[in-house]
Copies of this chain bind each other. A is one copy, B any other.
Amino acid sequence: MDKLLTIQEMSRLTGLSAHTLRYYEKEGMLEGVARSEQGYRVYSEADVSWVQFLVILRELDIPIREMKRYSSLRSQGPSTVHERRLMLEAHQLRVEQQMLKLGENLEKIAGKIQYYKEMEEDIEIGLRRKRRQKCP
């Protein structure tokens, strides 16, 4: 166990490009990544879990700025657990509201789709009628 990974393997496991992994690290969201003798990054399994968590935050549309704040809190240790929880709860709420909004808008779009379907049928009937007139 405790496999050590290259940046490519990390990329494959997280879906982030090597470029993006370096970028996240430069921005302070990935502290303490080990290096090989040659200066290459060597990721631990703990790093993998953490980056996978960052990916979840990104997929929830949490801005980089907030992710940096969260990372900073995390690196300050357990005393920041409460504040971290508050951050997560705030975003949880925001995403829930966003999902509601998406749901509403999906319904409106569905209405429009239904309307278009009916229009298409009417056009079809119109065509059929024309054809009948042409070749009786």
A92's partner among B56, B78, B101, B106 (CB-CB below 8 A) is B106
- Chain A contact patch, size range: 20 to 34
A binding-site residues for B, Cβ under 8 Å = 53, 56, 59-60, 78, 81-82, 84-85, 88-89, 91-92, 95-96, 98-99, 101-103, 105-106, 108-110, 112-113, 116-117, 119-120, 123
Bound CA–CA A58/B89 (angstroms): 26
Known: A92-B113, A96-B106, A99-B99. 19 other contacts (CB 8 A): A56-B105, A56-B108, A56-B109, A59-B101, A59-B102, A78-B123, A82-B116, A84-B116, A85-B113, A85-B116, A85-B120, A88-B109, A88-B112, A88-B116, A89-B113, A92-B106, A95-B102, A95-B106, A99-B102
Bound CA–CA A112/B108 (angstroms): 34
Pairs across A and B, CB under 8 Å, 26 listed? A53-B112, A56-B109, A59-B101, A59-B105, A60-B102, A60-B105, A60-B106, A78-B119, A81-B120, A82-B120, A84-B116, A85-B116, A85-B117, A85-B120, A88-B113, A88-B116, A89-B113, A91-B109, A92-B106, A92-B109, A92-B110, A92-B113, A95-B105, A95-B106, A98-B102, A99-B99
